[in-house]
Each structure stands twice: as structure tokens, then as C-alpha cells.
Amino acid sequence: MKIDKNQIQDCNQKRIDEHSNNFDFLSNALSRKGYDVETILKKISDFQVAIPSWALGAGGTRFGRFSFYGEPSNLEQKIEDVGLIHSLTKTAGAISLHIPWDVPKDYSAIKQLANALEIKFDAVNSNTFQDKQNAKESYKYGSLSNTSKAVRDQAISHNQEVIKIGEKLGSKSLTVWLADGSCFPGQNNFQTALQNTERSLKEIYATLPEDWRMLIEYKPYEPNFYSTVIQDWGTSLMLANACGKRAYTLVDLGHHLPNSNIEQIVSTLMLKGKLGGFHFNDSKYGDDDLTVGSIKPYALFLIFNELVYGIENNPQNPALAWMIDASHNVKDPLEDLIQSLEAIQEAYAKALLVDQEALKIAQQENDVVKCQEILQNAYRTDVRPLLEKARLNSDGALSPINAYRSLNIRQQLIQERGKNTVATGL
Ligand SMILES: [Mn+2]
């Protein structure tokens, strides 16, 4: 299904007066303080986040999985779902494919469909954490780090295959996340595992097209519970540096131990020009994969504050690949993604309001109270009218969640696709 522009306009009509009042009030207040509201709106509109192809169905835990019905059962339907989210939010102009779950059958048809919905193909993701049916070698004890050369070679050629698929779609980066590690002390030789991983990544990197990037993701634990080979940003950065200029670290918000200072990690990586990608989600305990901003919105703002600072001050760091990496166990996946996109835009807009000049002076003068005031003044501003205006300017919905519900989109998807469809993925 596709949402017609007129349907969105009808939904907007009911809220337009309230929006106009709120926007005028905020816009005047910001202009009086010297902000350039038009530039802020443009930045918000330009900020696009990729939706991963595995996030459009119900996510499961190891205890069970509960369907939302009308889930997309093939790649075409997944792209259509991203198109639905994008037409409402105007923020989800890209999809990130997971191989082998979403290998296109007809490349030109897939590209045409994505093009018509204004969806680009972002980073492609390899998968060496599961065994492919009838695969010769098993990844049970690791992939790129495995002690067996045959296993490593199989994992390397899978990544090279993923690059080829991405090239046909117009992707420009490969994301590598390894589940490799160990569950028990003594199971792995740390040094051998790291050396094998570095060698394998270098082999993949050697076949990377000139205009491509390799993004190396890290994670401290899970599915291995004693050690992971790429456990933290330092290990990822070391491997990226070993591979070369076009290899970067990818930060996933959920891939940190509790209370890690993620904003400081972001800042350091951008200073070194090595932050290549970003995965959004939120968590309370570990890699919970919850809706962005649902648990720690202030932490998200502080992270965005560093991202905005880096974007403005670190030309050595390339444009980032943004993606939501969340799972949906109890919410309609599309509603959950809409909420995540709203939280991302909100944190970004608030970070754009941080008075960087005043902050610099307050830092110089060691005025700690003033520093906090500056950050929290920005954080406490209700920026939602700015997000509404940015969407309105691009024919999106004033309130994407309300439009999604009043247009009965899930019900229509169930009617179209049936109740018992299951999306491939986690
Ligand atoms: Mn991730």
C-alpha cells in the first residue's frame, strides 16, 4: 500500500491551527535569541535515518515471538513499509539490507520500487553469526576469528559477496558486526582471535570498491558471554586503523556496558576522523534494542551535542551513516520506528540549539554552573513545533503516529498481506 499525499494533508488539517500557534511562538522566541530558524529547519529536514530491513517485523527474544500481523514477507514489502514511514515522517529516506535475509531477486525492479518511494540503499550488513543452510563450514566457534582457515575464508567471501550485492543497489558501505568471542575462560586465545580477525578484515577491505567504506561495529558481550573479539571502540578503532583510510568505527548505542560515557567515545572518534556509522536504540540493562529515547533521552541529547559539534568542527570525519537498530516485541514495528525517528529528530534539534560560543567561554572561565545551564536550556526547549514544521514543509504528517492510526495502516496491511505473515530477520 501507499499513502496518498492528500490523505496526509487531511490529517494535518485537524492540527494545523494548533501547530501554527506553537510554531510561531517558538520561532519568535528563537529568533529573538539570535537563532536562524530557517537553517535549523533545513538541517532537520536533511537528517535522514536508514531503517534496517530486519526491523519491520516483530522481533523475538529467546523466549518467544509474538506477531503483529500483516508483516512484510519479502523485500518488496519491506521497502514498501519503509516508504510508509518515510511518507509520514520524511526522515526515513533509506533502507539498510541484511544479507542473506534480503537478497534481491530482481535488482532493477527493487531499485525502481525504492526510487519511486524516495528510498536509498544505505550500508549493507553481512551475517556470519548464523549458519546458512547447507553451508560447508559452521560459525559456531566464530567466523573471521575462527581457528580454522576454511571457516575464515568462507566468512571473508560472504562479506565480499555482500559488497557485490550492495554495489548493484548503489550502497556505499559495508557494516561488519561479529558475534565472535568465547563463552568460557580459556576457550579462546585472545591474541590469536584478534590477529585472525585483523587479517580477515584486511582481506575484505582489499576488495572494497574505491568509493566504499567499511564500518566495524563493536559489542562487549552477547551472544558470547565471556569475551567478544571486537569488544569496544578501542579495538574497533585499532582494527579500522590497521585496515586503512576507508575503514571506520561504528557506534551502536546498545553495545556498551551500563553507564559508559558514549558521548565521550563519539567525541574522540570524530576528532580522529574515524566515526563512520551510528546505530540508534535505547536500553536499560544491556543491548535491549528499545525505542530510541524511551529510557535515557538526556543521554541521547548529550550524544547528539557531541555529534553536532563534530559535524561542525571535524572536517576530518566523513558524513555518518545513521541507522535505527532496534527490535519490537510489544509494539507495532512501524509505530515503534516512528517514535524512534521522532526521538532522534528531537535530540538533534535540541543539540542544534546549544549555544556553542557561550559554552566555549563558560568552559574557558571554568563556570561549571553556566556550562550546565547552557546545555539544559537547549535540552528543556520543546522543539516539537520545529519538527512538525520541517515535516509540513516536505509534505509529511504533523503527527506521524496519529496519521498512522487514523489512516488505519496496520489494518490495511493485514487485509493486503494476511494475518499470518512473518518477516525474515531476528
Ligand atoms: Mn547495530
Residue 425 — pLDDT band, cuts 50, 70, 90? low
| Predicted confidence (pLDDT) at residue 426 exceeds the cutoff of 70 | no
Mean pLDDT score, 145-158: 98
> Ligand 1 centroid vs 236 CA: distance in angstroms?
13
Write down the pLDDT at residue 420. Answer: 81
How far is the centre of ligand 1, averaged over its atoms, from the C-alpha of 344 (Å)?
A: 16
Q: Cα–Cα–Cα angle for 152, 272, 355, nearest 5°?
A: 135
Determine which of 7-21, 53-67, 231-245, 390-404 has the lowest per-residue pLDDT on average: 53-67
- Give me ligand 1 centre to Cα 127, in Å: 12
Summarised one tens digit per residue, pLDDT across range 298-341 is 999 999 999 999 999 999 999 999 999 999 999 999 999 999 99
156 C-alpha to ligand 1 centroid (Å): 20
Phi first, then psi: give them for residue 102, nearest 5 degrees.
-130, 55
Q: Give the percent of the chain with pLDDT over 90.
A: 94
pLDDT digits (tens, 9 = 90+) for 19-49: 999 999 999 999 999 999 999 999 999 999 9
Per-residue confidence (pLDDT) for residue 419, from 0 to 100: 85
Nearest to 182 by CA among 128, 149, 131, 146: 146
DSSP 196: H
* Ranges of each domain in the chain: 5-417
- Cis preceding-peptide flag for 223 (omega within 30 of 0): yes
- In angstroms, the CA 79 to CA 112 distance is 11
Mean pLDDT of the chain: 97
pLDDT for residue 1:
87
pTM of the model: 0.97
282: DSSP letter: B
pLDDT at 397: 98
Pick the CATH number of 5-417 from 3.10.180.10, 1.10.760.10, 3.20.20.150, 3.40.50.300: 3.20.20.150
Q: How far is the CA of 218 from the centre of ligand 1 (A)?
A: 8
Average pLDDT of span 115-139: 97
Q: Residue 289 C-alpha to ligand 1 middle, in angstroms? A: 9
Q: What is the CA(252)–ligand 1 centre distance, in A? A: 5
Q: How far is the CA of 58 from the centre of ligand 1 (A)?
A: 17
- C-beta of residue 298 within 8 angstroms of C-beta of residue 263: no
Ligand 1 centroid to residue 337 C-alpha, Å: 15
Residue 45, classed as helix, strand or coil, is helix
Q: Cα(425) to centroid of ligand 1, in Å?
A: 14
Instruction: Find, among 412, 281, 392, the residue nearest to 340 by Cα.
Output: 281
pLDDT of residue 424: 67
From ligand 1's centre to the CA of 275, what distance in Å? 14
Residues 174-186 have pLDDT tens digits of: 999 999 999 999 9
Q: Which of 68, 47, 132 is nearest to 98 (CA)?
A: 132
Residues 90-103: tens digit of each pLDDT: 999 999 999 999 99
Residue 69 DSSP symbol: S
Ligand 1 center–CA 176 separation, angstroms: 9
